[in-house]
Amino acid sequence: MLVTHGGRKAKRFGWVFQDDYVKIKNENGRQEEYPLAEIFDIMNWLTEKFGLSWFPLANNVEKLGQDTEVDGLGVAIVRQRPRNISHAQGASYLGVVLEHVGVVEWNNKQRGIQWRIIHPARNPDELRRAIKAKMACQAAPPDFDKPSFHWFPPLSRENKMYRIIEKNIDHILGSVDEDLDIKTYLTLLNRFQSVDVTRDTEFQSKYCRYWRLFGAGLGQNFRAAYFELMEGLRGRPIPNIGEVTRKLYEVPSNKSGRKTVQFSFASKLLHTLDRHQPIYDSMVATFYHFSVPGPTKSFEVRLRSFLSFYDFLCAEYKNVLSNGLLQQSITQFRYQFSVPSEYTDEKIIDTLIWRVTDLQNRGVL
């Protein structure tokens, strides 16, 4: 799942590449389709007009209708389908997809949105390969034709929650356990860099206490396999969380031989490898109103639901950071606890979500 660059008016959306069409559907159900040939022609038009220089979004509905809009992505689209203004307005989605694919880069501005071509495709086949390569990396490509395709609450609901965090930041930071939430976490990160986690029992013990593997009904054999997987992935390209979850599922959770979906612990393993990866747990699920799939459902159904939410989580954290939705709180957190850069903004968001949800659960907020 991706997010447009519209600041507080941003929209989340999913996309797939099927039958040589880029298909887009936003959180309100709006859909647009862009055939590969059309996208290639759009990119060629932009290349002729701008070369490798920046080009604007250019999708104002009135200006497009009056043919007074400046040259840019929206105009390039309407040139392919004259008078189809709605299709051209989809530039705000298509631009993000092309950015996600790696064909263009964004100027990181919410106003005056611009992109520039960084990897021009010489023919439709090159463009197709680039899009398919990115699709292959998606955790759970949405199926627009199935009613089970899940959309999450509009951004306004999360924005309200972020405002609650900003308004109550002093109270929230006062509930942070500096030794546990910060010092133990940083100790684990530093130790991970210098030990073999399959042999270092001190690391294993601290990790299991901090991330709550102890008390989760997981046996010693599962924990051993967990750390073997962690060590085996060290130094490699960051894996898909679905792959990690599948590997953990194949390991019996305890002596009974029962296999369970350990998505939360998969996300924590992934975060250990890459501190910018979001962490999934029950507090995060509660904060974002995610309905956890029941244990009676099949593994594939449950995994698909978790992966869909995790895609949302990755996009939402990017949205929070790029739009400064928690900037005041993140800045105050860093100032109050003097945390180093190893304690990433993504981890601060996780800590703030955990703490505000805990306070709300206890009726304090």
89-125 tens-digit pLDDT: 999 999 999 998 889 999 888 789 999 999 888 899 9
Confidence of residue 358 (pLDDT cuts 50, 70, 90): very high
- Runs of H (alpha helix) within 169-288: 169-174, 185-192, 201-210, 220-233, 241-249, 263-273, 282-287
Answer whether 13's CB lies under 8 Å from 1's CB: yes
Confidence of residue 136 (pLDDT cuts 50, 70, 90): low
Highest mean pLDDT among 40-44, 101-105, 251-255: 40-44
Backbone angles phi, psi at 23, to 5 degrees: -110, 130
Highest mean pLDDT among 17-21, 73-77, 289-293: 73-77
* Tokens, residue 194: 């210098």
d(CA 126, CA 29): 30
* Tokens, residue 37: 């040939």
pLDDT at 117: 94
Confidence of residue 138 (pLDDT cuts 50, 70, 90): low
| Torsion from C-alpha of 159, 160, 164, 169, nearest 10 degrees | 10
pLDDT at 285: 92
* Spatial CB neighbours of 171, under 8 Å, sequence gap ≥ 6: 359, 364, 365
d(CA 113, CA 119): 19
Answer whether 361's CB lies under 8 Å from 353's CB: no
Percent of the chain with pLDDT over 90: 61
pLDDT at 148: 41
pLDDT in tens, 4-31: 887 667 788 888 888 999 999 887 788 8
| Angle, helices 155-167/299-322, rounded to nearest 10 degrees | 60
How big is the chain, counted in residues? 365
Alpha-carbon distances of 310 from 53, 145, 170, rounded to whole Å = 34, 21, 29
| pTM of the predicted model as reported, rounded to 2 decimal places | 0.68
d(CA 78, CA 286): 42
Q: Does position 134 have pLDDT exceeding 80, yes or no?
A: no
pLDDT at 7: 64
**Neighbouring C-beta atoms of residue 3, cutoff 10 Å:** 24
Confidence of residue 172 (pLDDT cuts 50, 70, 90): very high
pLDDT in tens, 295-332: 889 999 899 889 888 888 888 898 888 888 899 999 99
pLDDT at 240: 86
Q: Does position 173 have pLDDT exceeding 50, yes or no?
A: yes
Sheet holding 55-56, edge to edge: 55-56, 114-117, 104-106
d(CA 139, CA 241): 7
Q: Please give the residue that has the higher pLDDT: either 253 or 272.
A: 272
pLDDT at 238: 85
pLDDT at 176: 96
Pick from 308, 331, 311: nearest CA to 321: 331
pLDDT at 149: 43
